[in-house]
Amino acid sequence: MSDVVLELPSDLRHELKEPLGRIYTETAALLADAGDPIIAVGDMVTYHLIEAGRVPDLALVDERTKRSAVDADVSAAIAGFDRTFSVDNPAATLTNALLDALRDGIDSDETTLLDVDGEEDLATLPAVLAAPAGASVVYGQPDEGMVLVDCDETARDRVRDLLERMDGDTARALSFLE
């Protein structure tokens, strides 16, 4: 059983459709603008970064895209990480295990792949808060491209506001991240 810290209420879902940063369709252009470290949330984003020659410092995948299984060649290409961990995180939630693994991955000097059993989508929010200044979080915007989030105070304020409006223990979630 997963220890859920925060859960996305249905009335907040529409706000998450608005990108947190610039949308890119070309990986090379995104990488030219990205900071360091790079945190990738999603299988297709991770795949495109690796195919472009950049293994993310931290990547979170769930072997799904648009609610369907990713192609076997995509799964096979998501490789080259120094270490891999599996975490449970049901859809529309942030669990203790995911937040702890996210923090560990960000703090590590090794590249880290988090293989999420459930859904990794919401991990974008805590990643923006937990990442160091100058870092970039990259996630997919369905049917549009990849979103590059600069981990600056503007993005952190927006994410903090979203997390505070989720159901659950916001203080506990923030204790992992700030």
Would you write out the chain's pLDDT as a tens digit for each of its 178 residues?
469 999 999 999 998 889 999 999 999 999 999 999 999 999 999 999 999 999 999 999 987 766 666 677 888 889 999 999 999 999 999 999 999 999 999 999 999 999 999 999 999 999 999 999 999 999 999 889 999 999 999 999 999 999 999 999 999 999 888 7
Q: Indicate the burial class of 127 (C-beta count within 10 angstroms; 0-12, 13-18, 19 or more).
A: buried
Q: What is the pLDDT of residue 64?
A: 73
Q: How many domains does the chain have?
A: 1
Task: State yes or no: 62 annotated in a binding site.
Answer: yes
Q: Facing residues of 112 across strands? A: 58, 83
Determine contact, residues 97/173, Cβ cutoff 8 Å. Answer: no
Domain limits at 126? 4-13+22-177
pTM above the 0.85 mark?
A: yes
Among candidate residues 14, 159, 39, 176, the one with its CA nearest the CA of residue 95 = 176
Alpha helices in 2-152 (DSSP H): 27-33, 43-51, 72-77, 96-107, 124-130
What is the residue whose two structure tokens read 């989030």? 149
